[in-house]
Amino acid sequence: METDTGHERTGGGLGLFELSLPARVVVAGGVAVVTLATAVHLAMMFLHVAPSNTVSKRHASAVNDYVYPEFEQNWKFFAPNPLQQNVAVQARAELRSPDGGTTVTPWADLSARDGADIAHNPLPSHTRQNELRRAWDFYTANHDAQEQPSGLRGRLSEEYIRRIVASRLGAGQQDRPLGRVQVRSVTSPIAPPPWSDEQAETKPVYRVLGWWPVTGADLAEASNR
């Protein structure tokens, strides 16, 4: 008769109570952190999508800071009115030469640059994903068809997009400072699929803004980006 004098062997791994005290403390702490983070996330998202109420109004700033831009809800992807067009934001600059003359650069497709930075990048920058797109949405939502701003938000949207453009077009132009910048959008409707009988105009539509003088504050902000 054989007697097993060694410790009993089990097929499973170590249970929680078989871990050392420090290990159990680490595991319990990790579970607590994950649970708390999940609860905070769910609470923030609930306040963001729930109808306006006393709590969401009181903490609107904190909720918006948490949600945007990583967890933004964009329902334009879904029916009944999915987005059926591509909007590209382009810009050009007027450069001042040392002799006092000026030179106008060709139009630069800033949206295409962002797209190239995002493509095939598993961890794209949130700036490249959202900054320019949100800035243009901010502008169009606060200007009428004659490009007149609707109060302070309209003027702030102009300043915001002007500084983005100054930052992106000013790189590599230190010997010729920016004098003015001009922005335009190119809206290209997406053609219907071959199997659809829907008819749609595919000619791009341009929205060209006027020239904006670049201020010293714009240049200072651009140099900090």
Quick one: 143 and 54 in the same domain?
A: no
- Helix, strand, coil percentages for the chain (3-state, nearest 5): 45, 20, 35
Quick one: 138 and 176 in the same domain?
A: yes
Please give the Cα distance from 136 to 159 (Å, whole number).
11
Name the packing angle between helices 216-223 and 151-170 (round to 10°): 60
DSSP secondary structure string for all residues of 46-77: HHHHSPP-HHHHHTHHHHHHHHTTTT---GGG
Task: Collect contacts of 144-153 with beta carbons under 8 A, ≥24 apart.
Answer: 147/209, 147/210
The CA-to-CA distance between both ends of the chain, in Å, stands at 80
Quick one: 105 and 192 in the same domain?
A: yes
- Using alpha carbons, list the distances in angstroms from residue 159 to 46, 71, 136: 33, 25, 11
Give the helix/strand (H/E) hosting 220.
helix 216-223
Q: Is residue 8 part of a domain?
A: no
Q: Is residue 4 part of a domain?
A: no
Please give the Cα distance from 169 to 94 (Å, whole number).
10
CB 189 within 8 A of CB 181: no
Four-point Cα dihedral 111, 112, 117, 120, nearest 10 = 120
Quick one: 100 and 192 in the same domain?
A: yes
Quick one: 29 and 105 in the same domain?
A: no
Q: Is residue 73 part of a domain?
A: no
Q: Is residue 125 part of a domain?
A: yes
Q: Is residue 75 part of a domain?
A: no
Q: Is residue 7 part of a domain?
A: no
Quick one: 100 and 172 in the same domain?
A: yes
**pLDDT recorded at residue 225:** 63
Quick one: 22 and 57 in the same domain?
A: yes
Q: Is residue 10 part of a domain?
A: no
Q: Is residue 89 part of a domain?
A: yes
**pLDDT recorded at residue 1:** 45
Count how many domains the chain has. 2
Last residue of a domain, one of 67, 101, 126: 67
Quick one: 85 and 30 in the same domain?
A: no
DSSP state of 9: P
Six-digit token string for 140: 């169009």
Quick one: 114 and 59 in the same domain?
A: no
Q: How does pLDDT run along the chain (225 residues), one tens digit per residue?
A: 444 544 444 445 556 677 788 888 888 899 999 999 999 999 988 888 888 888 888 888 888 888 876 676 666 555 555 667 889 999 999 998 878 788 899 999 999 999 998 988 888 887 788 889 989 999 999 999 999 999 888 999 999 999 999 989 876 566 778 889 999 999 988 877 777 777 777 789 999 999 999 988 877 776 666
Quick one: 172 and 144 in the same domain?
A: yes
Q: Which domain holds residue 34?
A: 16-67
Quick one: 164 and 54 in the same domain?
A: no
Quick one: 39 and 95 in the same domain?
A: no
